[in-house]
Structure 1
Amino acid sequence: MTATGQYADVNGLSMYYEVHGSGRPLVLLHGGLGSGEMFAPLLDTLTAHRTVVLPDLQGHGRTADVDRPLDIRTMADDVAALIGHLGLERPDVAGYSLGGGVALLTAIRHPEKVRRLVSASAGIRRGATYPEILAQQGQVSGAAAEFMKETPMYELYQRVAPRPEDFPRLLDKIGAAMAEDFDFTEEVRGLQVPALVVGADADLVPPAHFVEVFGLLDGGARDGGWTGEGRPKGGHALAILPGLTHYDLFRSPLFAAVTLAFTDRED
């Protein structure tokens, strides 16, 4: 994937973004410790008839960190501001993992700026995450930087970050963010944007959690009916992707397929 990016000044952040393809816009948000580059395996498929906007979120990739915590609510405001900066008319917004949470909060906090939402591999309650994963997350801090030097995340950061020496700081902030309790149940219940909830069948949370989120959106309450009259009232949908984990869903053709199938629908 050739970088053809620019920077936008949004909310005190100099946010890097790339634009690929042409057609109805899709803003696609990467996972933690990643960047828009992580979607390179899917880009040809996604850009066949869509314009894909790939931002690098606060402190990630080519977007330098600023003096504020990493918080998906603030990052959602950044994405909404980028949408305004680019003059996009209610693009679809999709995200994976951290980006899935940011995409969800963008739709919750700025529904007027989002046409359809795809939130993948993102739990809405911290307690839904498997205990052993929470224990691992509790060990993430700047002190772990030395142990991560052989990882793809470190390699990416050293290659593209404006300040490569900030990697321990990013780990500190990610660790602090993951230690915070959260529960967006009520916010999800009031979601005004048609949403596709996506999870791997072996994700960081049980498949039942994604079903629970779908249930908050009027899903799974009744038979869908011959003409779909019994489907969720808000146009929401659910996809549990087979044979995948949290660590490979973002590059799976299945993720691209369900994202396009849902966002290509007419309102």
Structure 2
Amino acid sequence: MAYADVNGINLYYEIHGAGRPLVLLHGGLGSGEMFGDNLDRLAADHQVILPDLQGHGRTADVDRPIDYVTMGDDIAALIGHLGLEKPDLVGYSLGGGVALQVAIRHPERVGRAVVVSAGIRRDATYPEILEQQGQVSGAAAEFMRDTPMYELYQRVAPHPEHFPRLLDKIGELMAKDYDHTEEVRGLQVPTLIMAADADMCPPSHFVEVFALLDGGRRDGGWMGEGRPKGGHALAILPGLTHYNVVDSPLFATTALAFLDQPGPDQTAQ
């Protein structure tokens, strides 16, 4: 357990296991603790670097908005601070959006990326979910006292009294329109797009993202010669939702199957 002063923030992180490095990024209103048994699965053969993102867990908030781009720069700076040589990234929900920004903005610092349950357009999210997200603000703090998110924050945050401020910033983040279509189209880092089959966005959205990466446009061929040239992949995990995909053993199993496969130069052509 340690802190790193990077990119204007004192970022908390833990290191678990040994092997090729993997940076694991949690979801909104959570922390690294949310991965449970999947952390052990990932750390069995990898060195897992487990940060708490801005204003989450044991990382105190700073005077700036919570924003995917800025948090992506935080993680890129952490990679440099730790001297990691192109670690892989696995990010879920909020962390998935952050991982995507690291891959887009700092491809030279990333080996492979797994982006889980993170849509790339705001309008791809179901309307009823957007309506619920519109109600997230500091005013909801009192109503969240019996939730796991509140309990976690009160237990580990450097300033437990800042929970309403975190809700305000998360609400502002979710209210912003976004469309990362063009950035994803030019993605250079081999990326697995992963989602639950009953996620916040329909499965068709994640198929659309895969298509931007040249996936699903032709038969893959006997030797995989028709697969996306960038090494990208798609996984829709069955029987899961946005809220429990990170608890399923399929989360770690599928991520590792992608991360541990041979590179393009090692596969048959």
**TM-score after normalising by structure 1:** 0.98
Question: Following TM superposition, by how much is the alpha carbon of 1:220 offset from its aligned partner in structure 2, in angstroms?
Answer: 0.4
Equivalent residue number for residue 174 of structure 1: 170
Task: After TM superposition, list the pairs within 5 Å mapping 1:94-113 onto structure 2.
Answer: 94-113=90-109
Equivalent residue number for residue 13 of structure 1: 9
* Residues 1:77 and 2:73 aligned together: yes
2:146 aligned counterpart, secondary structure: coil
Equivalent residue number for residue 252 of structure 1: 248
Aligned residue identity for 1:122: A
Give the fraction of aligned pairs with identical amino acids, expressed as a percent.
76
Tell me how many residue pairs correspond in the alignment.
Answer: 263
Q: Structure 1: 5+ residue runs without aligned partners?
A: none
CA deviation string 1:189-223 (max 9, x = no partner): 00000000000000000000000000000000000
Equivalent residue number for residue 235 of structure 2: 239
CA deviation string 1:12-47 (max 9, x = no partner): 100000000000011000000000010122122111
Question: Following TM superposition, by how much is the alpha carbon of 1:78 offset from its aligned partner in structure 2, in angstroms?
Answer: 0.2
* Residues 1:34 and 2:56 aligned together: no
Match 1:53 to one of 26, 45, 49: 49
- CA distance in structure 2 between the partners assigned to 1:184 and 1:44 by the alignment: 32
CA deviation string 1:161-208 (max 9, x = no partner): 000000000000000000000000000000000000000000000000
**TM-score after normalising by structure 2:** 0.97
Equivalent residue number for residue 139 of structure 2: 143
Aligned residue identity for 2:135: Q
- CA distance in structure 1 between the partners assigned to 2:121 and 2:234 by the alignment: 18
1:239 aligned counterpart, secondary structure: strand
Question: Following TM superposition, by how much is the alpha carbon of 1:52 offset from its aligned partner in structure 2, in angstroms?
Answer: 0.6
* Residues 1:209 and 2:200 aligned together: no
Structure 1 outlier segments of 4+, above 2 Å: none
- CA distance in structure 2 between the partners assigned to 1:77 and 1:47 by the alignment: 24
Aligned residue identity for 1:223: D
Question: Following TM superposition, by how much is the alpha carbon of 1:266 offset from its aligned partner in structure 2, in angstroms?
Answer: 2.6
Equivalent residue number for residue 117 of structure 2: 121
